[in-house]
Amino acid sequence: MMSKTFYVIHGPNLNMLGIREPAVYGYETLEDINAEIAALGKELGVTLEFFQSNSEGALIDQIQKAYKKADGIIINPGAYTHYSYAIRDALASVDLPVIEVHLSDIYKREEFRKISVINPVCCAQISGLGKEGYLLALREMVTKYAL
């Protein structure tokens, strides 16, 4: 059987992890986090494709690319979470299981972060578990959503 493929998509400013507000987001870089997700992917026998962009259009292009190529999407859309109807529509278009991940707890911060416009098109949201959120998302994706 062909191994399943999952897209791991990181939105704006997540390329600044390690430097960006470490009290909120920690000291690990995106590369460090991706390496841990990749190690788990190997253990689970799945193929992962990583992508980061600061641009809404590039994120949408990557989501569209997942159509018929991926079995699910794990996405941290950064601040786009709170207002990008275009990213929400792209996720709804590709008809794949999507898990939304946030490093910080978006419900314990500023008011504007408490709204996720992408949540209604996702199977699950993980918020506030740091990088563990991605690992949990991948495990859940493999065992529950992308069957």
Residues catalogued as catalytic: 25, 102
Q: Which one, 34 or 71, has the nearer CB to ligand DQA?
A: 34
Give the shortest CB-56-to-ligand DQA separation in angstroms: 13
- Token look-up 């259009």 returns 57
- If one asks whether residue 106 binds ligand DQA (CB under 6 A), the answer comes out as yes
- If one asks whether residue 78 binds ligand DQA (CB under 6 A), the answer comes out as yes
- Interface residue with ligand DQA, options 59, 103, 118, 135 (CB under 6 A): 103
Contact by Cβ (8 Å): 102, 126: yes
| Cα separation values, 54 from 9, 40, 59, 133, Å | 11, 26, 8, 21
Q: Which one, 81 or 84, has the nearer CB to ligand DQA?
A: 81
Q: Which one, 98 or 106, has the nearer CB to ligand DQA?
A: 106
| Beta strand spans in the chain (E) | 5-10, 47-52, 72-76, 98-102, 124-127
Contact by Cβ (8 Å): 53, 59: yes
Give the binding site for ligand DQA (CB under 6 A): 13, 76, 78-79, 81, 102-104, 106, 113
